[in-house]
Amino acid sequence: TKPFPGYINGYLSGIRENGSQYTHAATWLILAYAKLGNGDRAVQLLDMINPLNHTDTITKMKTYQGEPYVMAGDVYFHPQHVGRAGWSWYTGSSSWIYRIIIEDIIGFTLSGNELSFKPCVPRDWEEFSMVYRWKETEYHIYFKNPKRLNNGVTEIKIDNVISKVKSIVLVNDKKSHLVEITI
């Protein structure tokens, strides 16, 4: 019998899994680069699939035709639809990319009441910050990257006290805490 690739055979070349940007696979590639410690490439790829970067001009919006705040399941490469978003609001890649940004690029991992950090960022990220609310307590978290490294944590300070471990135990004391992380 003649080989039959399945349902993909029904898509034109450059549509969905048949030669377009298939966003699920793209997110896993970003995850792989982050796990390998290559924050430069991970974020470069993230920028390529970020819907904000496909909708930041009128011309790009007319091409993309997707929402700037929603991951598209795919971006077409068919000659009549190059750059057009497909299957927005209908992809698991949005939850994948959210987790990859938080857990694998910023490196923020919560386990019970323990917060650990394993950032994997581009070398040109000199600093960045976030605020994390845990129950009724706020943690203002500042990352500094003076040596322009891709990954690793050299020091963690909690309320100006150097931590002996690479994680912090969260307490619900209804206060605001300063966390400084040096990469």
Percentage of the chain modeled with pLDDT above 90: 85
Classify strands 114-117 and 167-169 as parallel, antiparallel or unpaired.
antiparallel
Report the candidate in 73, 74, 67, 30 with the shortest Cα–Cα distance to residue 52: 67
Provide the whole-model pTM: 0.90
pLDDT of residue 4: 85
Q: How far apart are CA 105 and CA 43, in angstroms?
A: 8
**Mean pLDDT, all residues of the chain:** 95
Residue pair 21/75 in contact by the 8 Å Cβ criterion: yes
Domains belonging to the chain, first-starting first, are 7-97 (no CATH), 107-182 (2.60.420.10)
Q: What is the pLDDT of residues 90-140, one digit of tens each?
A: 889 999 999 999 999 999 999 999 999 999 999 999 999 999 999 999 999
Strand order in the sheet with 21-22: 21-22, 74-75, 85-86
